[in-house]
Chains A and B, each alone.
Chain A
């Protein structure tokens, strides 16, 4: 199993600013995943982050808007850049348990953009 510490848990930001979300895992993991959940919607995968290489983004998401860092096997950050009210969502990081093929999730970051 894996325990993920995600922060901040929530934030209220002004449009045009940027917010960096951090995820710390208590064990080394190969891949970390970043999801977005817009109000009342399901989770949408933003990107997959491997250590030592650029993140792989899903259709509709670009690096300039959602830059991701993965400096080591236990840590990753997602930045939401030049925010607008449409970016108001819950952002979630997750990692895969290689033995069981299941995902563990952080507790989420609830972002509101005014």
Chain B
């Protein structure tokens, strides 16, 4: 597996606004996963998008994948204070272990 690079490193928005964060990677993948980490606790899996998919939705989350550009984006719509967390992407070549980048720290202000 390889490490994804999340951008921006930090994002600060108001409740109700949308949050967009991006992930870039270097080599071909089988899938790409997004995770959330609240305040130094364990990561929680959000969504997995496969290399043959271009877009996927889960509740207020929308993930896109552009394999030609080797990039993915995570959109959180109508953000809430509870969305405040760090978000990590993990591109996977199909091997078991996942590697994580520095993440995007999202702060949603009431």
Contact = CB atoms under 8 A, between A and B. Distances in A.
Interface stretch (B16-24, B58-66, B96-104): B96-104
Interface string A92-114: 10101000111111111010000
A53 B33 CA distance: 28
A105 B42 contact: yes
Contact of B97 (A48, A92, A108): A48
Q: Give the size category of B's interface with A.
A: 20 to 34
A45 interface: yes
Nearest to A37: B40
B42 A42 contact: no
Contact of A105 (B30, B44, B99): B44
B98 A103 contact: yes
Contacts of A43: 43, 88, 100
A101 B92 contact: yes
Contacts of A107: 41-42
A4 B44 CA distance: 12
Contacts of A100: 48
A31 B45 CA distance: 17
Interface in A24-44: 31, 33, 37, 41-43
30 contacts: A4-B42, A6-B42, A31-B96, A33-B97, A33-B98, A42-B88, A42-B100, A42-B102, A45-B98, A45-B99, A48-B96, A48-B97, A94-B43, A96-B96, A101-B30, A101-B31, A101-B33, A101-B48, A102-B48, A103-B35, A103-B43, A103-B98, A104-B45, A105-B42, A105-B43, A107-B42, A108-B40, A108-B41, A108-B42, A110-B40
The 6 closest A-B pairs by CB, nearest first: A105-B42, A102-B45, A43-B100, A105-B43, A107-B42, A42-B100
Interface of B: 30-31, 33, 35, 40-45, 48, 88, 92, 94, 96-103
Interface of A: 4, 6, 31, 33, 37, 41-43, 45, 48, 90, 92, 94, 96, 100-108, 110
